[in-house]
């Protein structure tokens, strides 16, 4: 076994990945590939907890998500990349953990209460949705992960995971380490309407967008809301376009915009055009790799099969221990 600390994280395949996902999670995962023993997986069962009525696109989303991952630089050479539903051991552990998880722990879960309130259009009064964190706990501890890189919204789930692991260890035998959240700082970049970038807000720029689509989206971006006319000076410090500049433009452009915006020498239209070209260039390597994998679906499938094989070995070994600890 490797000496590196093991981490694990997952994403629900609910659609193509956007810049919020890139800066909020993926870049962080890519960095971690060199320092940790990384397990990253596509949580298709979790997608079903809320989208059980429309599972239609999941298979396509899974392949697209793996292509997005490979395009940004996750690689099977460094990480174990796999799909949750291919490893039935997750379901077995979920079942066994559900025996020992008190329902009030789940009812208290803040994301549960929030989502039930927010997603009025879906009927989420299901057993599976309530049990979401139990499945997530199974995902994590079946690999004995020590760290879980997540955004702040997922911290309560990792907390429940720790409680479940502790309870298992107490009831039967010390099998699981208690995993810790590794907080990913939330992205500084916002959607084109200045809200959090999200598919459901229709305000996202996708990794798979073409240069034309990127130009169109950028031209719609809301800038400094106080800058009403071209002759008004603007404030880059509160402008989402400027935040993009700081990531995707060179020093010279950043300094120029920072100065000429404040004196109204540059207008937002031109400023956005310059930013869009920087963004297009910055994402070019990702678009190129995406084209490569899109033309080689067998290679993508092969990566999934191989990652799944590796993950399954670990999961199956843990399940042996689990069954033995329970005496079943």
Q: Which residues are near ligand TRP by CB under 6 A?
A: 8-12, 43, 46, 136, 139-140, 148, 150, 154, 157
Length reported for the chain: 328
> Nearer Cβ to ligand TRP, position 176 or 244?
176
> Nearer Cβ to ligand TRP, position 148 or 303?
148
Of these partners, ligand SF4, ligand TRP, none, which one is at the site of residue 86 (CB under 5 to 8 Å by kind)?
none
Q: From the CB of 246, what's the least distance to ligand SF4, in Å?
A: 10
Q: Which residues, other chains included, contact 158 with Cβ-Cβ below 8 Å and sequence gap of 6+?
A: 140, 148, 150, 179, 180, 181
Of these partners, ligand TRP, ligand SF4, none, which one is at the site of residue 150 (CB under 5 to 8 Å by kind)?
ligand TRP
Q: From the CB of 6, what's the least distance to ligand SF4, in Å?
A: 42
What is the C-alpha separation between 163 and 315, in angstroms, rounded? Answer: 20
Q: From the CB of 69, what's the least distance to ligand TRP, in Å?
A: 14
What is the C-alpha separation between 244 and 277, in angstroms, rounded? Answer: 11
> Nearer Cβ to ligand TRP, position 11 or 276?
11
Coil/strand/helix, residue 301 = helix
> Nearer Cβ to ligand SF4, position 205 or 286?
205
Of these partners, ligand SF4, ligand TRP, none, which one is at the site of residue 10 (CB under 5 to 8 Å by kind)?
ligand TRP
What is the C-alpha separation between 180 and 158, in angstroms, rounded? Answer: 7
Coil/strand/helix, residue 238 = helix
Q: From the CB of 290, what's the least distance to ligand TRP, in Å?
A: 22
Which of 126, 140, 132 has its CA nearest to residue 176? 140
Which of 112, 170, 132, 115 has its CA nearest to residue 48? 132
SS in 3 state form for 26-83? HHHHHHHCCCCEEEEEECHHHHHHHHCCCCCCHHHHHHHHHHHHHHHCCCCCCEEEEE
Contact 227, 36 (CB under 8 A): no
Of these partners, ligand TRP, ligand SF4, none, which one is at the site of residue 272 (CB under 5 to 8 Å by kind)?
ligand SF4
Q: From the CB of 274, what's the least distance to ligand TRP, in Å?
A: 34
Of these partners, ligand SF4, ligand TRP, none, which one is at the site of residue 241 (CB under 5 to 8 Å by kind)?
ligand SF4
Of these partners, ligand SF4, ligand TRP, none, which one is at the site of residue 236 (CB under 5 to 8 Å by kind)?
ligand SF4
What is the C-alpha separation between 305 and 161, in angstroms, rounded? Answer: 27
> Nearer Cβ to ligand SF4, position 253 or 325?
253
- Please list the helix, strand and coil fractions of the chain in percent, rounded to the nearest 5, in that order: 60, 10, 35
> Nearer Cβ to ligand TRP, position 83 or 140?
140
Beta bridge partners of 206: 18
CA angle 270, 226, 250 (to 5 degrees): 35
Q: From the CB of 10, what's the least distance to ligand TRP, in Å?
A: 3
> Nearer Cβ to ligand SF4, position 111 or 246?
246
Interaction site with ligand SF4 (CB under 6 A): 223-224, 227, 234, 236, 239, 241-242, 257, 261, 266, 268, 271-272
> Nearer Cβ to ligand SF4, position 182 or 216?
216
């Amino acid at each position: 076994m490797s000496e590196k600390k093991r981490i694990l994280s997952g994403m629900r395949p609910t659609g193509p990945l956007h810049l919020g996902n890139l800066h909020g999670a993926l870049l962080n995962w890519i960095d971690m590939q060199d320092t940790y023993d990384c397990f990253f997986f596509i949580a298709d069962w979790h997608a079903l907890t809320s989208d059980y009525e429309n599972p239609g696109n999941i298979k396509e989303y899974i392949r697209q998500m793996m292509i997005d991952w490979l395009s940004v630089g996750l690689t099977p050479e460094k990480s174990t990349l796999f799909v949750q539903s291919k490893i039935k051991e997750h379901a077995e552990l979920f079942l066994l953990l559900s025996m020992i998880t008190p329902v009030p722990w789940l009812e208290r879960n803040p994301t549960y209460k929030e989502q039930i309130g927010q997603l009025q259009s879906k009927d989420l009064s299901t057993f599976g949705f309530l049990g979401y964190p139990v499945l997530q706990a199974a995902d994590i501890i079946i690999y004995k992960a020590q760290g879980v890189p997540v955004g702040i919204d997922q911290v309560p789930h990792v907390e429940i995971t720790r409680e479940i692991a502790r309870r298992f260890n107490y009831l039967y035998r010390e099998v699981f380490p208690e995993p810790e959240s590794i907080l990913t700082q939330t992205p500084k970049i916002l959607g084109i309407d200045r809200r959090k970038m999200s598919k459901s807000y229709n305000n996202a720029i996708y990794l798979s967008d073409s240069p034309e689509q990127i130009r169109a989206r950028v031209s719609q971006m809301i800038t400094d809301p106080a800058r009403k006319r071209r002759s008004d000076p603007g404030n880059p410090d509160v402008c989402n376009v400027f935040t993009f500049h700081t990531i995707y433009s060179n020093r010279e452009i950043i300094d120029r915009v920072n100065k000429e915006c404040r004196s109204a020498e540059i207008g937002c239209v031109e400023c956005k055009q310059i930013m869009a070209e920087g963004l297009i260039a910055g994402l070019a390597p990702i678009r190129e790799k995406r084209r490569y994998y899109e033309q080689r679906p067998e290679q993508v499938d092969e990566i999934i099969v191989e990652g799944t094989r590796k993950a399954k070995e670990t999961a199956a070994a843990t399940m042996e221990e689990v069954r033995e600890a329970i005496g079943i």
